Amino acid sequence: MPNANSKDWKDPTPEQMTKTVLDKVQDGSIVLMHNGAKNTPAALPSIIKGIQDKGFEIVLIKDLIPEGEYFTDVQGELHLMEN
């Protein structure tokens, strides 16, 4: 579940969107943005810079999901299935 929702679908200004994300981003955050939102392209450079300035690394969700068969436990942790 994203905890740094940009709310870009509400068409905030790039500055408002940047503040919304940077106020919420923390270690392990998932930032939710939509590729069709009006001001997302303009906000993205300052959001990326702000996240990096806070010392966080930006990674893709797909890079966090293990390859192979896995299951999710009741705490939301992923576990690889053993063959």
Question: What is the per-residue pLDDT across 20-62, written as a single tens digit (0 to 9) for each?
Answer: 999 999 988 999 999 899 999 999 999 999 999 999 999 988 8
pLDDT given for residue 2 in this prediction: 60
With bands split at pLDDT 50, 70 and 90, how would you rate the model's confidence at 78? Answer: confident
Residues 6+ apart with CB under 8 A from 48: 58
Would you say how long the chain is, in residues? 83
- The whole-angstrom separation of Cα 58 and Cα 39 is 20
Q: Domain 4-80, CATH 3.50.50.60 — does that match?
A: no
User: For the chain, which residues make up each domain, given as ranges?
Assistant: 4-80
In tens, the pLDDT along 10-31 reads 999 999 999 999 999 998 899 9
